[in-house]
Amino acid sequence: MTTSWLPGPPTHVPRELIVDFDFFAIPEGVEDPAEIWHGLVRKGVPDIFFTPRNGGHWVFMDYEDIIEAYRDHERFSTHQAVVPPIEPFPDMQPQGVDPPQHNVFRRLLAPLFTPIAVRGMVDELESRTRGLIDKFADKGQCDFIKDFAARLPTGTFLHLMGLPEERLDEFLVISDIFFRSTDEAERKANSERIYAILNNMFDEKAKNPGQDIATHILQGRDEVTGELLPYQDKLDCAFLLFVAGLDTVTNTMAYVWRYLATTPEARHYLRERLDDPDALLRAVEELLRINSVSNLFRRVVHDMEFKGVTMKRNDRVIMPNTIANRDPDVFENPNMIDLERKVNRHVTFGVGPHRCIGSHLAKRELMIAIDYWLRRIPEFELADEMPEHNAFGGTVMGFQSLPMVWKSTVPA
């Protein structure tokens, strides 16, 4: 017997809550994919609405509703919550299972990404950052995504995971399909390809264990019985890390540098504070707030009424972090970038039991990248011409390309 997680027909949705909206679609002339979301705010859509696109799903537009869905796994599950729905879909550990089951792999991974553990990665991160920037600094131009943003976090991840870095370009294509394809057959084949890569990786780690995350997962044991954890669960854990490690930080960096390239006063502000880690971290938190790129999913566990809205079992919900992070009831002057913002309750990394376990690493990567880039390339701007159809939506928003130019550099 197989369990279906597909939603039923949306006969319970009142007409006034239906909005025709496709979060993958970027209209002609829209340069910032986040604008498709903020355009909904300007139109005055309901705080909770339903769109028939991508299999049909709800959208939460209020900060408090998004927070509640993040925290309440008994009503809003991460298990089989993907949009558009696809079956079978990997039970990615620990993100794709609910408490208390998610604690097994959360506890296994947590020590690898604590602030102390991340501080131990600083030398590696700094070396990689310098190496990438020094390759193009004296050329006076680069494609920021191709030459830097797609390589620093992803190369670092492959190094930490113990995967071959020479396959980085191949893995980026796989990640792109996972996050942005809406074709069911293509997505299914892509998932199978990822599993094949991970199976081969574990086979290699079984023969030649290393000091890497893949070996750590493969050797993971039940804390109570001491027995090795189920192999399929380990594959599902590696699957999550594989897709999460190859996309989100890249697109966050693209948004941040796009802002810096067009805002001289922000570049000056940060340059003046490169030796003040507290001020730099505060600025990075604000850049993460305003440049949140992820739109995350939940699945309704059982028929219920939520905030006066009838929802049915297996209905999908999308929570756009960019909307939550600009809620005027939570953030003063929410659309203004305040690099000294003192209170910053952004949800870029989520909240609750599934808060991003790699958040400390992501912030450290950003801080190190900003530090060395601004020391080496203090002034830069976007190239005069951007590629057409450059922006993309979906689970993670971003840009295909980001050409930048500058006139001078500081010697390495």
| CATH number of domain containing 35 | 1.10.630.10
Domain-embedded: residue 307: yes
The residue-averaged pLDDT of 73-78 equals 97
Q: What span, in angstroms and rounded, lies between the C-alpha atoms of 9 and 22? A: 18
The residue-averaged pLDDT of 354-367 equals 94
- Give the structural domain span for 335: 15-405
Domain-embedded: residue 76: yes
Domain-embedded: residue 7: no
pLDDT in tens, 196-242: 999 999 999 999 999 999 999 999 998 888 999 999 999 999 988 88
| Bond preceding residue 230 cis, omega within 30 of 0 | no
Say if residue 2's pLDDT is above 70. no
Looking at residue 171, what is its pLDDT? Answer: 87
Domain-embedded: residue 154: yes
pLDDT in tens, 362-405: 999 999 999 999 999 999 999 998 888 899 999 999 999 999 99
The residue-averaged pLDDT of 168-190 equals 86
SS3 letters for the chain?
Answer: CCCCCCCCCCCCCCHHHECCCCCCCCCCCCCCCCHHHHHHHHHCCCCEEEECHHHCEEEECCHHHHHHHHHCCCCEECCCCCCCCCCCCCCCCCCCCCCCCCHHHHHHHHHHCCHHHHHCCHHHHHHHHHHHHHHHHHHCEEEHHHHHHCCHHHHHHHHHHCCCHHHHHHHHHHHHHHHHCCCHHHHHHHHHHHHHHHHHHHHHHHHCCCCCHHHHHHCCECCCCCCECCHHHHHHHHHHHHHHCCCHHHHHHHHHHHHHHCCHHHHHHHHCCCCCHHHHHHHHHHHHHHCCCEEEEEEECCCEEECCEEECCCCEEEEEHHHHCCCCCCCCCCCCCCCCCCCCCCCCCCCHHHCCCCHHHHHHHHHHHHHHHHHHCCCCEECCCCCCCCEECCCECEECCCEEECCCCCCC
The residue-averaged pLDDT of 240-250 equals 84
The residue-averaged pLDDT of 133-141 equals 97
246 vs 102, more confident: 102
pLDDT in tens, 286-300: 999 999 999 999 999
pLDDT in tens, 82-110: 999 887 788 888 888 999 999 999 999 99
Say if residue 125's pLDDT is above 70. yes
Say if residue 259's pLDDT is above 60. yes
The residue-averaged pLDDT of 118-139 equals 96
Domain-embedded: residue 9: no
Looking at residue 1, what is its pLDDT? Answer: 40
Looking at residue 176, what is its pLDDT? Answer: 84
Sheet holding 381-382, edge to edge: 141-143, 403-405, 381-382
Domain-embedded: residue 6: no
Using alpha carbons, list the distances in angstroms from residue 156 to 184, 313, 355: 30, 40, 21
- Cα-atom radius of gyration of the chain, to the nearest Å? 21
Instruction: Assign 333 a pLDDT band (cuts: 50, 70, 90).
Output: very high
Domain-embedded: residue 1: no
Domain-embedded: residue 65: yes
**In this structure, are residues 407 and 304 in contact, taking their beta carbons and an 8 Å threshold?**
no
Report which listed range, 149-158, 159-168, 252-261, is most confident: 252-261
Say if residue 267's pLDDT is above 90. yes
pLDDT in tens, 10-27: 999 999 999 999 999 999
Domains in the chain, number: 1
